[in-house]
Amino acid sequence: MNDKQTPDAIYAKPHDQIVDFEFNDAVARVFPDMIRRSVPGYGTLITMLGLLAEEYTQPNSNIYDLGCSLGAASLSMRRRIPHHDCRIIAVDNSEAMTKQCSDNIADDLSPIEVNVLCADIRELKFERASVIVLNFTLQFLPPEQRLQLLQNIYTDLLPGGVLVLSEKIVFDDADEAELLDKLHLTFKKANGYSELEISQKRSALENVLIPESMPEHHQRLKAIGFKQSSCWFQCFNFASILAIK
C-alpha cells in the first residue's frame, strides 16, 4: 500500500462548516492511518479475519468483503484461504476507495483471485458465498435498510456459511456506555488526535455512522435465521460477531 503512512489531518484545522463525512479522495489517501488511530483493535481484527476465512471458506466458493475500502480484510483473507479454487469479491461504492484497493491487490502476490467492484452492496447478489465480511460497513447504511441486506446475505450464504459483522456499538446501560466511550476517547487522544479533530469528526459522522447495540445485532441475526451469533472480539465500543448459517 503506497500511501499507508500518509497521516490523517482532515479535521486538524477548524472547518467553517462541518459537512457529513464522505469516503472521498481525501479520506482514501489517509484511510489506513485514520482507521488504525480511530478503531481500537483494528489491526488485530484484520489479522483474525484471515484466520476466520481459513477456517470457514469452503472449496470452490466465493468470499465477499463488503465495504472493502482499501482492501485490508481481503488481503488478510487472501493470504490464508487454503483453497485455490476460491475467489474474493471486494466491493465498495466509493470510487476513490476501489481505485486504491485495486492497486493494493495488484501489488500483493498471493494466488487467490480478488475481483474489486465499485458497487452498492444493497444491490448485489452473493453467489456461492461461504464467507461474507461486513467489517465496519453496516453502520453506514440507514438503519431501516440493514435488515434487508442481512436477509439477502443469509439467503445467499451456502449452508454452514458465515457472516463476520464488525461494528461500533452502543450500550443500553448508561454507566457502561460512559465508560467505553471514555476509553475510546482516551484511545484517540493517545493516537495523537486533538480535541478539535475529535469533535469535528464526531459532528461529521453524527448522521452518517449510526451504531446499534449488541442485543439488537444478535436478535436481528437470530430472527433472520442464523443458527449461531457469537461475539468473538471486542475492544472498548467496537465489536465483531460471527454468525453461522
**Measured CA distances, 130 to 34, 63, 78, 84, 243 (Å):** 30, 6, 14, 14, 12
Q: How far is the CB of 184 from ligand GEK (least distance, A)?
A: 13
**Which one, 91 or 129, has the nearer CB to ligand GEK?**
91
Cell of residue 216, nine digits: 439488537
Name the residue whose CB lies closest to ligand GEK: 67
Q: How far is the CB of 144 from ligand GEK (least distance, A)?
A: 14
**Which one, 69 or 102, has the nearer CB to ligand GEK?**
69
Binding site for ligand GEK (CB under 6 A): 23, 35, 67-69, 72-73, 91-94, 97, 120-122, 135-137, 140-141
Contacts 24+ apart (CB under 8 A), 183-191: 183/40, 183/236, 183/237, 184/40, 184/236, 184/237, 184/238, 187/40, 187/236, 188/37, 188/38, 191/36, 191/37, 191/38
Q: How far is the CB of 175 from ligand GEK (least distance, A)?
A: 26
**Which one, 140 or 233, has the nearer CB to ligand GEK?**
140
Count the neighbouring beta carbons within 10 Å of the beta carbon of residue 235. Answer: 17
Q: How far is the CB of 74 from ligand GEK (least distance, A)?
A: 9
**Which one, 73 or 112, has the nearer CB to ligand GEK?**
73
